[in-house]
Amino acid sequence: AQSVTQLGSHVSVSEGALVLLRCNYSSSVPPYLFWYVQYPNQGLQLLLKYTSAATLVKGINGFEAEFKKSETSFHLTKPSAHMSDAAEYFCAVRGNRDDKIIFGKGTRLHILP
Amino acid sequence: GAGVSQSPRYKVTKRGQDVALRCDPISGHVSLYWYRQALGQGPEFLTYFNYEAQQDKSGLPNDRFSAERPEGSISTLTIQRTEQRDSAMYRCASSSVTDTQYFGPGTRLTVL
């Protein structure tokens, strides 16, 4: 079975500062891992995904995430936050033999001017 | 079409009424998924189809919920005898086989 834990339901960072959103996963099989973003009044958009090809995954809008098997983590980072990054971010996991995605509860990112 | 579409975008209904939510996947996508997202939560899996076959309905909360995809394209999620606790955002996603799931804008259901 798969599960995801996102640490912190709300995270605030200053514009230009590092963004770090934490995600830990549990999976009985090698996982597929995802980060999705949800802007206000919009649908879910895929930021990036890990499918075992490389442990450091680069996504859209300058975000990246690193798969660390020893820590069962898949934290999302961005070197310099922009006001437009304010949104809700969801970490998700999918087992390689099970097509359904299990989502975390989400982290709302606030950007301070 | 360019992306996954869902209709209606907003639905307000009275308790006890039946509702049907529609999902039109990306053309050619084999797999179609339904999720439900309560306020302040992540999406929760309901059911999914490969072509017209329902592969997994373990996430449907009770027998008032059903889904179909008769021709392997458009899907309908039906909720019978709606209750206030059914109020949520209902999201549909589609994908090629075992590939990235692309989500539609969702249907916001409010049961009064």
**B56 near A CB under 8 A:** yes
Question: Does residue B107 contact residue B46 with C-beta atoms inside 8 Å?
Answer: no
- The CA distance from B67 to A89, in Å, is 28
- The CA distance from B70 to B32, in Å, is 12
- Tell how strand A102-103 and strand A44-50 pair up: unpaired
| Cis peptide, bond prior to residue B8, ω within 30 of zero | yes
**B101 near A CB under 8 A:** yes
Query: For B40-84, how does the pLDDT look when each residue is reduced to its tens digit (9 = 90+)?
Result: 889 999 999 999 999 999 999 999 999 999 999 999 999 999 999
Find the chain A residues whose C-beta atoms sit closer than 8 A to any C-beta of B: 9, 34, 36, 42-46, 49, 90, 92, 98-106
Alpha-carbon gap: B86 to the closest alpha carbon of chain A (Å) = 18
pLDDT band at B1, cuts 50/70/90?
Answer: low
Query: What is the 8-class DSSP label of residue A99?
Result: -
Give strand pairing partners of A37: A45, A89
DSSP one-letter string for A63-86: -EEEEEGGGTEEEEEESS--GGG-
- The CA distance from A110 to A81, in Å, is 10
Q: What average pLDDT does the structure give for chain B?
A: 93
Per-residue CA distances from A84 to A15, A58, A87, A92, A109 (Å): 10, 18, 8, 22, 10
pLDDT over 70 at A41, yes or no: yes
Q: What is the pLDDT of residue B32?
A: 94
